[in-house]
Structure 1
């Protein structure tokens, strides 16, 4: 038996009522599938699907999120593929759609993430588990302060050489706002490259160096301190800012601690 649903890109997807062979092309959504209680049903994941480690290490790797191997996926013969508009390469997704049901998420903020979790829970017959995860997330975010007067300004770096930041229209920007910070590059769009001079002129109170996708470490702090001597510079957990699945259950507590900074 099959069912037809719409994904977050408003595309119809026809899939089995109970999918038994799932390939996930997004790390945060892979972690979500395991959190929903799926094990045997997950047959393929990307090289970047690292959580939960004891589970993902035993699954067939299908390549990266952008350059996944279509032939490997075909050999897995999935009855459901789960991807994301931003994280996956459109050409490869369109190729997969010719042979398999592909459900795509499209996420810009917390509301989109909650919607995705509930929809995926329904896709795989884990509605109550999804609702429980969503409740935990919503309860966590509900206790975050809604305002910080005046809000602390921040620049959130995702890449080095060239410098790239998270700006407006990104999930990270929504998380920064919920954490009580004002993005100094909020007037820019998506993930722009910026210069050291632009950063100097922005004069953020804080500079957050994300642990992913670029693996910023403590050794990089001085480079940014030289540009903005008065800024507080921290390496932050990029997964808690950008993974929009079950990991969000831990994000609010982490943001609360960041919000207590001077």
Structure 2
């Protein structure tokens, strides 16, 4: 039996499928940057996929996410007769469960080693000596931050960092810069996606506060990057810019 033809609308899932089921992936978004050198049909963005192009690829399965992709696009794919698997990932345990579900749907009969390694890496994270507070911007102009019920927030919590806006009514609220500064967190966490914060772009807005630029792929992606995420995020958070 041949492997199913798969189109991925989520960068995290693209990497997971490409590494775990070689040859299954036939299409991915323009934002799917991993693994390096991925040679598949590009079908537009996560928020504006080219439905006609996806249908033309005749996939057996389209993998998507309830947050990253828009329901009207997914409905159009279903209306065209395609099978669409929609994931929901807001916690680390959800991520592991959804990855198992996606990879099984892609024809895998055995679990990939990287997934076992990722679970082991996170299980080995020691309890923090003390908990710290964090503000986590995800956009600038306007300033937006992590709010309630987010995957990235769950990862940070497991590393001992409670982000200030975890109880906000919105998942990604807009918060004025003066309010972010006034929160006086122990650290400002600056991922390099979706906004590309860096050592030169971001810390300038928070004078006097420790700022930690981190890899957005390791903070927000749920895929093979999860295996190395605990060590890399911990190293970045423990050596903030001042």
TM-score normalised by the shorter chain: which range applies?
over 0.9
1:92 and 2:73 matched: yes
What is the TM-score when the length of structure 1 is the normalising length? 0.86
1:210 and 2:191 matched: yes
Pair 256,223 (structure 1): closer, same or farther in 2 beyond 3 Å: closer
> Separation in 1 of the partners of 2:53 and 2:234?
42
Q: 1:220: how far off?
A: 1.7
1:186 corresponds to which of 140, 143, 166? 166
Match for residue 156 of structure 1? 136
Match for residue 125 of structure 1? 107
Partner SS for 1:114: helix
Question: Does the CA-based 8 Å contact 2:6-2:106 persist in structure 1?
Answer: no
Q: How does 1:1-262 map to 2 (within 5 A)?
A: 19-39=3-23, 41-54=24-37, 56=38, 58-98=39-79, 99-130=81-112, 132-149=113-130, 151-188=131-168, 189-226=170-207, 229=208, 231-258=209-236, 260-261=238-239
Gaps of 5+ in 2: none
> Separation in 1 of the partners of 2:96 and 2:123?
14
> Separation in 1 of the partners of 2:224 and 2:98?
11
> Separation in 1 of the partners of 2:46 and 2:101?
21
Question: Does the CA-based 8 Å contact 2:181-2:206 persist in structure 1?
Answer: no
Partner SS for 2:48: coil
Moved over 3 A (4+): 258-262
Write the deviation string for residues 106-142 of structure 1: whole angstroms up to 9, x where unpaired.
Answer: 0110111100111122112223233x33321121012
Partner SS for 2:127: coil
Write the deviation string for residues 19-71 of structure 1: whole angstroms up to 9, x where unpaired.
Answer: 532100000000000121322x21110000010121x2x21110000100111
Question: Does the CA-based 8 Å contact 1:179-1:258 persist in structure 2?
Answer: no
Question: Does the CA-based 8 Å contact 1:145-1:180 persist in structure 2?
Answer: no
Question: Does the CA-based 8 Å contact 1:211-1:217 persist in structure 2?
Answer: yes
> Separation in 1 of the partners of 2:86 and 2:74?
9
Query: How well do the aligned residues superpose, as a CA RMSD in angstroms?
Result: 1.7
Q: 1:146: how far off?
A: 2.1
Partner SS for 1:182: strand
> Separation in 1 of the partners of 2:129 and 2:233?
13
Partner SS for 1:145: coil
119-128 vs 105-114, which moves further: 119-128
Pair 259,217 (structure 1): closer, same or farther in 2 beyond 3 Å: closer
Aligned length: 238
> Separation in 2 of the partners of 1:187 and 1:148?
23
